[in-house]
Chains A and B, each alone.
Chain A
Amino acid sequence: MPVQVIVFGQLTDIMGNSPVTIENAVDTTDLIDQLNQRYPALVNKPYIIAVDKQIVTGHTTLSGNNTVALLPPFAGG
């Protein structure tokens, strides 16, 4: 199942401003592994993960057609 990945803030310096599609990822851990291989600069960068706008922790199963957002530390205001 394809997963669409969007990033914000400092992570756009690494992955750009357009969504990236990962063809097949079973869960968020698998997804991050694949992203780390494709974008080595992503490794060890601080961010949290949101699946379909909900913040998740740990291994989260991706059911297909999810949008996964990588969110670096917030800096509003």
Chain B
Amino acid sequence: MITERKPKNIFTQGPIAASFIADSIQKHDTKTNIGGHSIFLGQVRADVIEGSKVVAIEYTAYEEMALEKMHQIREAIFAKYPLVCMHVHHSLGKIAAGEICLFVFTSSEHRKAAIDACTETVERIKAELPIWGKEIFEDESYQWKENK
């Protein structure tokens, strides 16, 4: 049976708090068919570029398109892996170095599906979602982030 899933909003203004992640884990204690969780956390890195240090990344997105695309990715991942659930959160706005900007959380009966689905989801988010990051330096100059 295919369950219809509605597009979810993945965007959060500001950083993703560690307490939010902890609560999200806690909420799964009633889903006792789960045997393995996989979590990816993206953190803003203080890159040094030509002597200037990145202090924050300001994220923007083409939100409507990103949510439609994320819905397609979610459907494809659920079709490919036997997941119990998946949660994705991405920050918008200014996120300081050291703060969490991406939280991907997959759960399945056995570990392999959760791990592989988490990895593939992260890769697809980076490659396919219309999101941009402005790397802001200490002197408030900036450059546009490029994904590697």
Task: Kindly identify which residue among B61, B65, B68, B144 contacts A76, using a CB–CB cutoff of 8 Å.
Answer: B61
Asked whether, in the complex, the Cβ of A74 is within 8 Å of the Cβ of B65, the reply is no
Asked whether, in the complex, the Cβ of A76 is within 8 Å of the Cβ of B147, the reply is yes
Q: Is B128 in the interface zone, CB < 8 Å from A?
A: yes
Asked whether, in the complex, the Cβ of B101 is within 8 Å of the Cβ of A72, the reply is no
Provide the main secondary structure of the chain B interface: mixed
Tell me how many residue pairs across A and B have CB atoms closer than 8 Å.
Answer: 64
- The smallest C-beta distance from B82 to any residue of chain A, in angstroms, reads 25
Residues of A within 8 A of B64 (CB): 53
Task: Kindly identify which residue among B68, B102, B130 contacts A8, using a CB–CB cutoff of 8 Å.
Answer: B130
- B-side residues, CB < 8 A to A, are 42, 59-62, 64-66, 68, 90, 101-102, 122, 125-134, 144-147
In the complex, the chain A residue whose C-beta lies closest to that of B60 is A8
Asked whether, in the complex, the Cβ of A76 is within 8 Å of the Cβ of B125, the reply is yes
Asked whether, in the complex, the Cβ of B65 is within 8 Å of the Cβ of A77, the reply is no
In the complex, the chain A residue whose C-beta lies closest to that of B129 is A76
Max count, chain B CB within 10 A of own CB: residue among A72, A75, A76: A76
How long is the Cα–Cα vector from A76 to B61 in the complex, in angstroms?
9
- The smallest C-beta distance from B116 to any residue of chain A, in angstroms, reads 18
Q: Is A42 in the interface zone, CB < 8 Å from B?
A: no
